[in-house]
Structure 1
Amino acid sequence: MTATPVDVLDGQPIARVRRGDVDYVLLGTAHVSRVSADAVRAILERESFDAVAVELCESRFQSMRDPEAFRKLDLFQVIRQGKVGLIAANLALSAFQRRLAEQFGIEPGAEMKAAIDGADARHLPIWLVDREIGITLKRAYRSVGFVDRLSIVGGLGASLLTREEVSEDEIEKLKQGDLLGSMFNEFARESPPLYDALIGERDRYMTARLREKSQDGSAQRVLVVIGAGHLAGIERELAAQMDVPRPLIERLSTTPPASRWPKWFAIGVFVLIAAAIGYAFTQGTAKGTDALVTWIVFTGGFAALGAIAAAAHPLSVIAAFIAAPLKPFRPGIPASAISAGVEAWLRRPRVADFDTLRDDVAHWTGWWKNRIARTLLNFMFVTLGTLIGEYAAGFRIIKNLF
């Protein structure tokens, strides 16, 4: 007896919503399932659409379209503009995706690529409806308190350093969830502000983008390929959202201002240390000199240790040691930027570094082998070393005075 072929669309999360003159067919996909990619192909073959919307932002779309996009990365510009953290976060997401790819034998974003290829083959417009990942991460980071921010950094760090396979429990959550939400695991679900930034806000943003793209009346039927974790939210928002799309999109695209208290706290600490050094000189030249030397040795020493930990060039280590104690005389130019700039100049990235960057960062040891990744590490480690050195120096100076 011949077995009946299984319909690839059976059991797939699909929702159909009509709003105004537009029919939206929402297809929920899993990031770890070949079936999702097959489902995308199947629904495009069986039904006719006027447009295909995908859960991608412009930068991720270009990265998918152009695998060599990282060759256009200007490392000096990244350092100068203070975007090291953003690039590192993107690489952390890439590393998490690579882990999934290695474990399940499916390329990251296969379902999105199937949607893009299917739209291209049918000459359909592709709508990019997701918010830029950098904005999402910034809003998530600034939506929570200090302790929760450590959990965000920890979640990104774990994606870079762990080599463990994704557990069965996490796999099931991925099948019904969102890639960004899964990176932060239970913490995202236990922190309402973080969950809203990663999931809720993007549901509202993507819905507003769908409505905005539909306003010209060129599409009556739209296939929307999204992670399964966004299906219910976007279905609900399509039925209920009443805000004018453009102002809502702009509101959800703004980056909340950074909290001022860390900056003022840091300034206060430095003023206290500077005052302590000045007071030490009033107690005698020897005491003042000892306090000044303590400041130089601790700030320069810990910054240099950060560069050494990143396997930086000896001249980059020396640059970190010299620049860190001079912080008061170069506001806005951290020692980490100077050291990383020297590193990038002395060890300019090779073509091979750009070609292998995404694969290298999937393994934590690869961060020290790839010149681009190592320069980013240099920036981050020197930043951390300088911070530790400043507080250690201040504690020792004030302790020796009293």
Structure 2
Amino acid sequence: MNAPAAASAGSVAANVDEVLESQPIARVQRGAIEYVLLGTAHVSRVSADAVRAMLERESFDAVAVELCEPRYQSIRDPEAFRRLDLFQVIRQGKVGLVAANLALSAFQRRLAEQFGIEPGAEMKAAIDGADVRGLPIWLIDREIGVTLKRAYHSVGFLDRMSIVGGLGASVLTRDDVSEDEIEKLKEGDLLGSMFNEFARESPQLYDALIGERDRYMVARLREQASASSARRVLVVIGAGHLAGMQRELASQNEIPRPLVEKLAKVPPPARWPKWLAIGVFVVIAGAIGFAFTRGTRTGADALLAWTLFTGGFAAIGAIAAFAHPLSVIAAFLAAPLKPFRPGVPASAFSAGVEAWLRKPRVADFDTLRDDVAHWSGWWKNRIARTLLNFMFVTLGTLIGEYVAGFHIIRNLL
């Protein structure tokens, strides 16, 4: 090798070592496999460089990333949202899940705007690096929807409202992330960061967002390793998972598959909200029936109050979402009939009409992720506005039922 070439090679090697010098790295030997855990920050361009540098400096048989299948596909195929079927989302009751994913996307976009880095750049660097070297990619993280549902069910009512508030705040706030928050982001996890101090102060929420995922990801690593001949695996994870996964790799002895299934299981919904809703309707229906015993006029007034309050508040929800006039009418007509079609909310009818009348355009899919990064974009984008319509009409119907019940019973006393 001539002198200039040798100098150039030495410069590259020095640069690689310099990039990796300050990065959190842990090496764990488990059986015949060495796991090299590289902790990354979601707001640092250096993290993406560190992934490239690690792949350049060392040889691996596989690359594991802190991604689930849907997030992996969104990196592989940024146009995936073009195939979103709104009618299916509404019919299958997945509006909340899609909205939560968009809220996370909004949080990522806000960080991207502030720091000038592509969301998930470090994961994309790992995927691209594995592709170039022909290495298998192991997806080890749990789906965000499962994590959010388990987190939601792990805490009480007030804490659940904080989760919803955290998701909402990620959409509505436009303030830059503070210096203190930046440092926490560099040491933590994207989902945990969305809920800020609340995640750190609630042991149950912290475990669902961080601890459970540490155990899940290690179980997935072990499961993938058992079906592979890999002996050295690069594991690219958020820095907040580094210590926990290092401990789990050293101590976890449960059979991987049952543990993965256990941690991926969504807890059944609590029964009391359903029984409370039934109880409220029974009381209101009984009050309306009792009103008829006092005279046809009294009964008719009670029935009219039920129709106007439930339909009216549902319609207000649709109006708040800037829905089409026919979607507003659909909400008004469907809400009073809710007891006669359990399982099919008025919001499904209204959102369905909205999606039919204002079919998403190509531009709506192209700009969806950017639009939801700004609160006003939720009303501008037809896809996001349909989701808002569903959620606002659901809330309006619920408020209308309680207001109607209070009004009817008060007039009978």
TM-score by length of 2: 0.96
Relative to structure 1, the CA distance from residue 216 to residue 331 in structure 2 (aligned partners, 3 Å threshold; closer, same or farther) is closer
Name which of 264, 268, 271 aligns with 2:282.
271
The letter of the residue matching 2:268 is: P
* Residue 101 in structure 1 maps to residue 108 in structure 2: no
Deviations 1:214-248 (A, max 9, x none): 11341000000000000000000000000000000
* Residue 159 in structure 1 maps to residue 132 in structure 2: no
User: Aligned with 1:68: secondary structure?
Assistant: helix
The letter of the residue matching 1:74 is: D
TM-score by length of 1: 0.98
d(CA) in 2 for partners of 1:361, 1:62: 20
Counterparts of 1:132-147 in structure 2, within 5 Å, are: 132-147=143-158
d(CA) in 1 for partners of 2:358, 2:227: 51
Number of corresponding residues: 400
* Residue 281 in structure 1 maps to residue 281 in structure 2: no
Name which of 388, 394, 401 aligns with 2:405.
394
The match for 2:376 is 365
* Residue 308 in structure 1 maps to residue 319 in structure 2: yes
Larger CA deviation: 20-29 vs 141-150 = 141-150
d(CA) in 2 for partners of 1:11, 1:163: 31
* Residue 353 in structure 1 maps to residue 364 in structure 2: yes
d(CA) in 2 for partners of 1:328, 1:178: 42
Aligned-residue offset at 1:331: 1.3
The match for 2:388 is 377
* Residue 84 in structure 1 maps to residue 95 in structure 2: yes
User: Aligned with 1:8: secondary structure?
Assistant: helix
Name which of 219, 232, 242 aligns with 1:208.
219
5+ long unaligned stretches in structure 1 = none
Aligned-residue offset at 1:273: 0.4
Aligned-residue offset at 1:286: 1.2
* Residue 47 in structure 1 maps to residue 58 in structure 2: yes
Name which of 160, 175, 182 aligns with 2:186.
175
d(CA) in 2 for partners of 1:64, 1:397: 53
d(CA) in 1 for partners of 2:85, 2:369: 16
Q: Percent identity?
A: 82
User: Aligned with 2:186: secondary structure?
Assistant: helix
The letter of the residue matching 2:208 is: A
Aligned-residue offset at 1:329: 1.4
* Residue 337 in structure 1 maps to residue 348 in structure 2: yes
Aligned-residue offset at 1:332: 1.0
Aligned-residue offset at 1:126: 0.4
5+ long unaligned stretches in structure 2 = 1-10
d(CA) in 2 for partners of 1:176, 1:58: 25
The match for 1:242 is 253
The letter of the residue matching 2:63 is: V
The match for 2:229 is 218
Question: RMSD over aligned Cα, in angstroms?
Answer: 1.0
The letter of the residue matching 1:312 is: A
d(CA) in 1 for partners of 2:162, 2:396: 20
d(CA) in 1 for partners of 2:188, 2:213: 13
The match for 1:27 is 38
The letter of the residue matching 2:358 is: R
* Residue 256 in structure 1 maps to residue 272 in structure 2: no
d(CA) in 2 for partners of 1:312, 1:271: 31
